[in-house]
Chain A
Amino acid sequence: MLLIHCPYCEETLPEAEFTYAGQAHIIRPENPSGQTDDQWEEFLFIRANPKGPHYERWRHFHGCGRFFNAVRDTVSDKFLTTYKAGAPRPDLSTLLPEGQK
């Protein structure tokens, strides 16, 4: 069971309190009706699915209920950081330990 830091509660808590909510920073377009089929497919389905640092969303479901973002290494499952929804995407180079940049 992972330990996850909720950036709203400012507490590190077990995964059982959280639900995973998929890739982060996929923004629903302002005017969906103006999107092509390709663009809409991209929005709905296409995912980065990286092996390594992954920008993703979690929800503190059994806590404050807030959605927030995280960067987690999908190889070690370690969280590099978590941050509030709406905050800018953190630069990986500031998160990775020396030698892994």
Chain B
Amino acid sequence: MTRFNAFSLLKNALTGHKNWTEQWPDSQPKKEYDVIIVGAGGHGLGAAYYLATQHGITNVAVIDKGWLGGGNTGRNTTIIRSNYLYDESARLYDHAVDLWEGLSQELNYNVMYSRRGVLMLAHNVHDVQSFKRHIHANRLNGVDNRWLTTEECKEYCPPLNISQNARYPVMGGALQERAGTARHDAVAWGYARGAAMRGVDIIQNCPVTAIRRNADGSVAGVETAKGFIGAKKVAVSAAGHTSVVMQTADVRLPLESYPLQALVSEPVKPIFPCVVMSNAVHAYISQSDKGELVIGSGTDQYTSYSQRGGLPLIEHTVAAITEVFPIFNRMRMLRKWGGIVDVTPDRSAILGKTPVEGLYVNCGWGTGGFKATPGAAHTFAWTIAKNEPHPINAPFTLERFKTGRLIDEAAAAAVAH
């Protein structure tokens, strides 16, 4: 594989780009692997990459029912931040941000991590209290996050409407400057290339139909469209489809899969310098390097694997955006799409071992999996390699739903009174 540098670029430009080599081969499955990872998204490919680079485990296959990076990795709004309330979450996501910052160089693949800042808007007193709680907790956890007044919000994000007569007036905001966005496809491709370079097999268009277990209950391998493939360890990283895959190993999970929609506008010249999230009106927006406004919507109310989603939700999302940014009312929506997110009862991920020996799971990221990609993949690889939790992913067990030791970021932001 060609290493990317100024020299290789120029040389290839001069030779008509005929000499670039493939970034990853189209592998056919071997009979057996040390580790099989089900799901070739950023999380799965990343885990394979770190198994190879950090743990010297290269007899690894990443298997996907479709094309690599074709699930939520390639369908999300690419927001990256780590200003979470609880220590457990802050540590995990901040670990991810640490890795994001050097990822392009690490992978020799420009994932375009753009530190443009994420501004979360407060629209009522409860928001203010909640965000300040986050800010103080983040500060003591060493996580960047600070309070901006209404005017400072406007200065940071000029398109913002700060009229106090608005239905949801802006009362300030929490800014994480270190946060931002990245190019989602490049993350999958960069990890795929890095893993393949080190001997990992990436097997696409090969649905895993079942996880097979030995008589002693431990994992034996996976049944696939291309036949049985043996493995000492199987790690499932299949986002919206985790329940379906894990069910075949008789592991039932506290997960529900919902359609999540997102949309982009037509591209325009730079107008929107950062990422803005408003939980109160349900609006998330940034502008891509291409110029499109990238807007996140919510999940539909019912579970679904249809990747379709309804019109009313999109109408509400666009209305929320123009409530906060009225100048965008005459902009046009270019396309909207849907993904499937798996959601846990406490809205935090499950990342680690399962009751089945040799079977590992990384799921339940809800709407926030992309930002965690390097951190989750890195610690997941550790757990797979050592068969024990990494200090950072240790709290994200399946066990917590039994004990009640939840990591309930959603409840912490919940509104009552």
Contacts and interface: CB of A to CB of B under 8 A. Distances in A.
Contact between chain A and chain B defined by CB under 8 Å: yes
Interface of A: 1-2, 15-16, 19-20, 22-23, 37-38, 40-41, 44-51, 54, 56, 72, 74-77
Interface in B234-255: 241, 243-244, 252-255
A49 B401 contact: no
B301 A20 contact: yes
Given A44-B401, A46-B252, A16 B303 contact: no
B345 A74 contact: no
B7 interface: no
B256 A76 contact: no
Q: Which of B255, B257, B302 has the most CB of A within 10 A?
A: B302
B310 A49 contact: no
B361 to A, nearest CB: 14
B308 to A, nearest CB: 7
B302 A20 contact: yes
B402 A38 contact: yes
A37 to B, nearest CB: 5
B244 A46 contact: no
Contact of A75 (B256, B305, B403): B305
Contacts of B241: 51
Contacts of B401: 41, 44-46
A37 B400 CA distance: 11
Contact-residue size bin, chain B (C-beta under 8 Å from the other chain): 20 to 34
Contact of A15 (B253, B255, B310, B403): B310
A64 B131 CA distance: 39
A19 B301 contact: yes
B255 A47 contact: yes
Given A47-B256, A49-B255, A74-B304, A16 B312 contact: yes
Contacts of B257: 49, 51, 74
A1 B315 CA distance: 12
B416 interface: no
18 contacts: A1-B311, A20-B301, A20-B303, A37-B403, A45-B254, A46-B252, A46-B254, A47-B243, A47-B253, A47-B254, A47-B256, A48-B243, A49-B342, A54-B303, A56-B302, A74-B257, A75-B306, A77-B308
Nearest to B406: A45
A46 B401 CA distance: 9
Interface string B95-134: 0000000000000000000000000000000000000000
Nearest to B309: A77
Contacts of B308: 77
Interface string B297-327: 0000111111010111000000000000000
A74 B255 contact: no
Nearest to A58: B302
B375 to A, nearest CB: 25
Contacts of A2: 302, 310
B302 A50 contact: no
A48 B242 CA distance: 11
Contacts of B301: 19-20
Nearest to A18: B301
Contacts of B311: 1
B257 to A, nearest CB: 6
B318 to A, nearest CB: 16
Contacts of B304: 74, 77
Nearest to B240: A51
